[in-house]
């Protein structure tokens, strides 16, 4: 069983920082395209950032460019999202996702494995 578990969410004041982690068990992530998404109730899910297996291709939503950094440690089977200069509009449930089959590794890829989400609240 492949499982993705997010952690690191919480409440923070505007301008603050949080680091999210996504621990993967059941498989190695070294050949997986991975991404972070976020969603608030009543809103469409938004792709936040994506990262290719070797970190050679990284994408960000325009709304987070310059503030968020996606990274991965394949040896630790973990995906990270460093979030700086947080804004109230960053509030939402953040999900990590992974897929072993993809064409271009960005947020439009079909992700097959999802975590349960972690809540981020910025006030």
**pLDDT average, residue stretch 105-123:** 97
- List the Cα angle 108/10/23 in 5-degree steps: 55
Query: To the nearest whole number, what is the mean pLDDT of the chain?
Result: 97
Average pLDDT over residues 18-26: 98
Nearest to 5 by CA among 76, 70, 78, 74: 78
Look up tokens 């990274």; give the residue: 71
Band (pLDDT 50/70/90 cuts) for residue 41 is: confident
**Residue 95 to residue 45: CA distance in whole angstroms:** 10
Which tokens in the block code for residue 46? 């938004």
Q: pLDDT tens across 54-104, in order?
A: 999 999 999 999 999 999 999 999 999 999 999 999 999 999 999 999 999
Amino acid 98: pLDDT? 97
pLDDT for the residue 42? 83
For residue 102, the tally of other CB atoms under 10 A from its CB is 19
CA angle 70, 7, 18 (to 5 degrees): 55
48/30 Cα distance (integer angstroms): 20
pLDDT of 75: 96
Neighbouring residues of 7: CB distance < 8 A, sequence distance ≥ 6: 20, 21, 22, 23, 118
Place of tokens 């949080």: 18
């Amino acid at each position: 069983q492949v499982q993705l578990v997010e952690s690191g969410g919480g409440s923070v004041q505007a301008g603050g920082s949080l680091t999210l982690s996504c621990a993967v068990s059941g498989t190695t992530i070294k050949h997986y395209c991975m991404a972070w998404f976020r969603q608030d109730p009543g809103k469409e899910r938004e792709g936040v950032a994506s990262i290719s297996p070797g970190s050679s291709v990284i994408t960000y939503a325009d709304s987070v460019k310059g503030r968020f950094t996606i990274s991965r440690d394949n040896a630790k089977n973990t995906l990270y999202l460093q979030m700086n200069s947080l804004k109230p509009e960053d509030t939402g449930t953040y999900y990590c996702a992974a897929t072993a089959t993809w064409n271009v590794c960005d947020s439009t890829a079909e992700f097959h494995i999802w975590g349960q989400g972690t809540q981020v609240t910025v006030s």
